[in-house]
């Protein structure tokens, strides 16, 4: 019998490990700024995040940048919390299973790069111009 019968779903630790590998592979020009961002993995987005984004289904949100983009930071308006990239394990696993055509590492890496792009000041429209991943 195949060994898959003993398989378990990837846990938050594995998702975080894949995400840290993706951050480590960012171009050197972005490495310093990326190192200042907290990386968090949770099973689902909080109700506050979902309400703020007007999302009803928590499986629709795989990641989120929570902070002030570098292009908007000023020394006169200090930030009282760290910039954070959130990854939502269950939504990532749901998308991975439904796609069936990408590795988990590729999907996590893509979500990480997308959220860090927001930290660097890119809008969803800017990202979509060069990234056709979701088509």
| Mean local confidence (pLDDT), 42-58 | 96
pLDDT confidence of residue 70: 83
Q: Out of 60-64, 97-101, 128-132, give the one with best mean pLDDT.
A: 60-64
Cα 54 from chain centroid (whole Å):
18
pLDDT of 41 > 70? The answer is yes
Name the 3-class secondary structure at 84. strand
3-class secondary structure per residue, 98-112: HHCCCCHHHHHHHHH
pTM of the entire predicted model: 0.87
In this predicted structure, what is the pLDDT of residue 1?
Answer: 47
**Beta carbons within 8 Å of 59's beta carbon, 6+ residues apart:** 90, 91, 94, 95
In terms of average pLDDT, the best of 14-18, 29-33, 98-102 is: 14-18
Question: What is the model's pLDDT at position 92?
Answer: 97
What are the structure tokens assigned to 73, written together?
């930071």
Return the closest-CA partner of residue 110 out of 47, 1, 25: 25
pLDDT at 106: 93
pLDDT given for residue 126 in this prediction: 76
């Amino acid at each position: 019998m195949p060994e898959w019968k003993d398989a378990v779903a990837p846990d938050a630790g594995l998702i975080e490990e894949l995400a840290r590998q993706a951050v480590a592979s960012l171009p050197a020009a972005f490495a310093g700024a990326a190192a200042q961002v907290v990386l968090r993995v949770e099973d689902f987005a909080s109700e506050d995040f979902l309400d703020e984004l007007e999302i009803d289904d928590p499986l629709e949100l795989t990641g989120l940048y929570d902070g002030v983009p570098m292009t908007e930071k000023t020394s006169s308006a200090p930030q009282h919390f760290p910039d954070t990239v959130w990854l939502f394990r269950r939504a990532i696993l749901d998308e991975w299973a439904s796609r069936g055509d990408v590795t988990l590492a590729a999907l996590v890496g893509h979500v990480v790069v997308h959220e860090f792009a927001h930290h660097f000041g890119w809008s969803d429209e800017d990202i979509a111009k060069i990234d056709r991943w979701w088509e």
